[in-house]
């Protein structure tokens, strides 16, 4: 029984670690929370992980049925996620201080974005790649043991992401404001490239399916 669980868990863990990529998320998290104290950063990290876990669990159990019922293809979902990621990377590249300003307390604080939801949970931690992966691994044809292994593997990777984001403050302290702005712009450019690939993949899959 242990072997039946360990093998799919190991394969799913490796897949989710590559797709979610907590190593890449950590410096982005440091850039987005460079003006927050340690407790606020930990709170944001936990919130992002919990939201991501809920999203992945939902799509793992009901994603295929929901998208099929709504007539939405995974290619369309991937393209939409790529567009969201591109907009976030664009803002990081051309205005690295905008994320900090959006979280500065003020009269409109209640209307500001919660970065734990966007862009951390969606589309970085629970992006189209991770959602597509868990929908595949927890599909109707997958054995029950494999479904449980896939879900636990996703939760384990998210736990690792929280631990890595917990040390993100040291990165910000070491680089300083100027260094973080440089890193933010570089990461913004990489995110735009990554999102463009998502869009290309989605459009290509949609065209192939339509032919």
**pLDDT tens, 124-161?**
899 877 888 888 788 777 788 989 999 999 999 999 99
**pLDDT of the residue at 99:** 47
Task: Pull the structure tokens for residue 26.
Answer: 């950590």
What's the rounded Cα separation, in Å, for the pair 53 and 47? 10
- The average confidence (pLDDT) of the chain is 80
What is the pLDDT confidence band of residue 30, given thresholds at 50, 70 and 90? Answer: confident
Q: Above 70 in pLDDT, residue 210?
A: yes
- Give me the helices (H) in the chain, please: 2-20, 22-32, 38-70, 74-94, 98-102, 128-137, 144-166, 168-210
**pLDDT of the residue at 112:** 39
**pLDDT of the residue at 121:** 93
List, for residues 179-204, the tens digit of each pLDDT value: 767 777 887 788 788 788 878 988 99
Tell me which residue of 170, 115, 125 sits closest to 25, measured CA to CA: 125
Q: Above 80 in pLDDT, residue 205?
A: yes
Q: Above 70 in pLDDT, residue 98?
A: no
Tell me which residue of 183, 201, 197 sits closest to 24, measured CA to CA: 183
Question: What is the pTM assigned to this prediction?
Answer: 0.69
Work out the average pLDDT over 29-37. Answer: 82
Work out the average pLDDT over 98-115. Answer: 47
- Give me the helices (H) in 108-167, please: 128-137, 144-166
**Long-range Cβ contacts of 30-33 (<8 Å, 24+ apart):** 30/168, 30/169, 30/171, 30/172, 30/180, 30/183, 31/92, 31/96, 31/99, 31/172, 31/180, 31/183, 31/184, 31/187, 32/99, 32/115, 32/119, 32/120, 33/115, 33/168, 33/169, 33/172
């Amino acid at each position: 029984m242990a072997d039946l669980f360990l093998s799919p868990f190991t394969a799913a863990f490796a897949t989710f670690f590559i797709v979610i990529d907590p190593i890449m998320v950590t410096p982005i998290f440091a850039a987005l929370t460079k003006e927050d104290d340690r407790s606020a950063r930990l709170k944001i990290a936990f919130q992002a992980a919990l939201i991501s876990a809920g999203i992945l669990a939902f799509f793992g159990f009901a994603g295929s049925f929901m998208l099929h019922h709504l007539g939405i293809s995974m290619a369309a979902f991937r393209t939409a996620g790529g567009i969201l990621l591109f907009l976030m990377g664009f803002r990081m590249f051309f205005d690295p201080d905008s994320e900090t300003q959006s979280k500065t307390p003020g009269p409109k604080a209640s209307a500001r974005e919660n970065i734990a939801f966007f862009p951390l949970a969606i589309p970085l931690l629970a992006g189209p790649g991770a959602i597509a992966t868990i929908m595949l691994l927890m599909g109707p044809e997958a054995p029950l043991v494999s479904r449980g292994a896939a879900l636990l593997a996703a939760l384990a990777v998210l736990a690792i992401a929280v631990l890595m984001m917990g040390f993100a403050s040291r990165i910000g302290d070491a680089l300083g404001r100027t260094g973080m702005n440089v890193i933010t712009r570089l990461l913004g450019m990489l995110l735009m490239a990554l999102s463009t690939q998502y869009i290309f993949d989605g459009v290509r899959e949609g065209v192939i399916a339509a032919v």
